[in-house]
Structure 1
């Protein structure tokens, strides 16, 4: 601000709105974080897109292949908790940079050669590096915006997941078919390094990050517990209340769908529904595109409701529950429908609706948790939720080995039942306005 600006508008006369304008830097950082999540999920999608090629090349059963993909989540959850707690204390910029560099390095051993043991080892390392990515990226983006403007940037960072698969699926499929699946690993490693350079130059922590880390004010009700005691009990108060539990349970069922989309959807489209490899490479992007539309619609509807005074119990919890419920209905209708086209449409709709809960989860926990403990609350939620990725690939692999093509359909029905349970949890338990005071926010 110049001297002229200061003299023209005394501090008390400046519009309150100006203090809340995010500015161009906030959107540049948000854009980089969107790309960060695009690369993150392109890394994950490679194995699903190359499932048949990898299995044929290495002689793997469906269970072996599911095990390799589940290995990705072995340290995923632990890293999400550890780095989530660390994110409350150190620069988010450097945490994100380290993660991106580790992703790229982790691709190299499998790209050079090796069998199942190398796949499992590299996927464990990659999972440890990527486990904290989503909550830390969300925390970094939200640190540039006040609470009433966080729906859009939160949704955009989440959409990076979708756009990563939509953009990567056709290109990586082409690379896999023409140059082999190991070449696709070199591609994602190179893109990760390019992003790391851009982030090193342009990334930064937002101004609301410093406010979040400031000491909490004294309680208005006269309570005089020492600040250290309040900080020590903050995580317990957040993780033990109904909103956090309901959000995490609902998000777990949604992430189950995400894991299936990443690992088994391409094979389901080819081997379960009879589509060609080329058609499957295109169709696999459709549920992610639908999920993008659902995410933007949810963010717009939630923002519209909250601006009109509707509480987040409805604006976030019950809107999110409705998405999961519709996704469940689509999955449960698959065995009741005849025809490849109808079944494909239901699977696509179920994945798009069921896998779109992430923004609801993140913004709900961000509203619930004390600002200085937000990283740990988000990281712990992500750790619990992503255990779905550890379980789902192996479970579905065993179903496919034991039941053949019918195993894919039965896995879809099981996912529908899980989504119904997630919808019930979101509807019944999420109420941030009720629980935020109890959590110390």
Structure 2
């Protein structure tokens, strides 16, 4: 009975992360204007955050095996708070991008380390409930974030980031007071598991940065950077993959690509990331298709949260009994249908809300603990932290690719037409299709 209250700060940290995520789509116009972002530059407020998360997640997951999960989480929340304050006060495009990058690094361990901590402490048969509650906390934060950002936009978009910084400061103090819990690895295992090599982390980051730049093609001085990214992105990814397979401590666990469940986890995590990018960008769709202001776009996302809350409640109660496959299959279907309804019927308010409901339910079905539950079904128990980090990494890659594709098609958050929005949504939906086959590899519940 005493373990439940002690885990509340982990749910609170997920809540804070969701409050920030909920506001991004609504706040893009304000950030774009205040920082005088270049064409296609607004989407980089999303992409740079994801690049930070993709760099921070593997590094902080490894550090957590030595310093402890709660220590890393508390330090990360402190960094997240500071970066949020900088975003809220800055009027410089480069400085704001840098602060968003730090936000991404600092926010990256919240969900994977929280999930690993909960999995380690959960009694037999209750793992799904704890992971479901973590996702439920995230959904609750998303709902609260939408409500707050709609109010803050009546005054200034800056208030949203200052508020997030204050929440993260409180969460940092709460997490720092959690009792230290051992990781799944023994001290002997720690000695055998070296930290990630600098060259591997650098290769991971550079390859993904080149990929995002090649897809997005943001208008900046010096077209040579775009040309280099187009030429070097695929070779850089191939070089990273080769290097990561040959080191003692790979960023992506080797078991991820050696089993059906591992391959399913990888492809579905990427699909979940693309779906999350659709959620973040939905306010921009509403502003274009329905002609509403940024402040008025907040209520449009209420169906997303309602669908997400319902799915998370169901997962909390039934994930252990049903297994992850029904949730993952329903999630893929919901995301695809929601996107198509929004694309072709979104100029009608009722149809737009139906599409948002389907999208919210679909993304939450994927992320309501089902993917993280699936990650516990492959690999050794000693690799629990690394497996959970891999799910977050690949989900963030999906968000990065989705945001970059959107930025390439929709160059600005202001003055965009319905046709451009529809093309953007259809392209993101098409990106989901090949990734969806991973659900066929998920074992059915026996």
Report the TM-score, using the length of structure 2 for normalisation. 0.78
Which of these residues, 412, 417, 420, is aligned with residue 425 of structure 2?
412
In the alignment, which residue of structure 2 is the partner of 1:89? Answer: 66
Q: How does 1:23-42 map to 2 (within 5 A)?
A: 23-25=1-3, 27-42=4-19
In the alignment, which residue of structure 1 is the partner of 2:332? Answer: 324
In the alignment, which residue of structure 2 is the partner of 1:76? Answer: 53
Which of these residues, 259, 270, 278, is aligned with residue 277 of structure 2?
259
Report whether the alignment pairs 1:425 with 2:402. Answer: no
Report whether the alignment pairs 1:383 with 2:393. Answer: yes
In the alignment, which residue of structure 1 is the partner of 2:362? Answer: 354
Per-residue CA distance 1:338-389 (angstroms, 9 max, x = gap): 7513431343133213312121110111232322111011112321221122
C-alpha displacement of 1:95: 0.9
C-alpha displacement of 1:147: 4.0
Please give the secondary structure, in 1, of the residue aligned with 2:410: helix
In the alignment, which residue of structure 1 is the partner of 2:185? Answer: 213
C-alpha displacement of 1:174: 1.2
Q: How does 1:294-333 map to 2 (within 5 A)?
A: 294-305=311-322, 315-333=323-341
C-alpha distance in 2, partners of 1:368/1:296? 25
In the alignment, which residue of structure 1 is the partner of 2:287? Answer: 270
Q: Based on CA coordinates, which of the two structures has the bigger radius of gyration?
A: 1
Please give the secondary structure, in 1, of the residue aligned with 2:65: coil
C-alpha distance in 2, partners of 1:82/1:192? 21
Number of equivalences: 384
In the alignment, which residue of structure 2 is the partner of 1:192? Answer: 168
5+ unaligned residues in a row in structure 2: which ranges?
194-247
Contact 1:250 1:419 (C-alpha < 8 Å) held by counterparts: no
Contact 1:368 1:432 (C-alpha < 8 Å) held by counterparts: no
Per-residue CA distance 1:34-90 (angstroms, 9 max, x = gap): 110111122233332222222233333561100222111123112211222333333
5+ unaligned residues in a row in structure 1: which ranges?
1-22, 218-226, 306-314, 435-441
RMSD of the alignment, in Å?
2.8
Report whether the alignment pairs 1:127 with 2:104. Answer: yes
Structure 1: 4+ residue segments shifted above 6 A: none
Report the TM-score, using the length of structure 1 for normalisation. 0.79
Which of these residues, 263, 267, 273, is aligned with residue 245 of structure 1?
263
C-alpha distance in 2, partners of 1:280/1:261? 13
C-alpha distance in 1, partners of 2:301/2:399? 18
* CA distance 1:215–1:194, shift in 2 (3 Å): closer
Please give the secondary structure, in 2, of the residue aligned with 1:167: helix
C-alpha displacement of 1:31: 2.2
C-alpha displacement of 1:418: 3.5
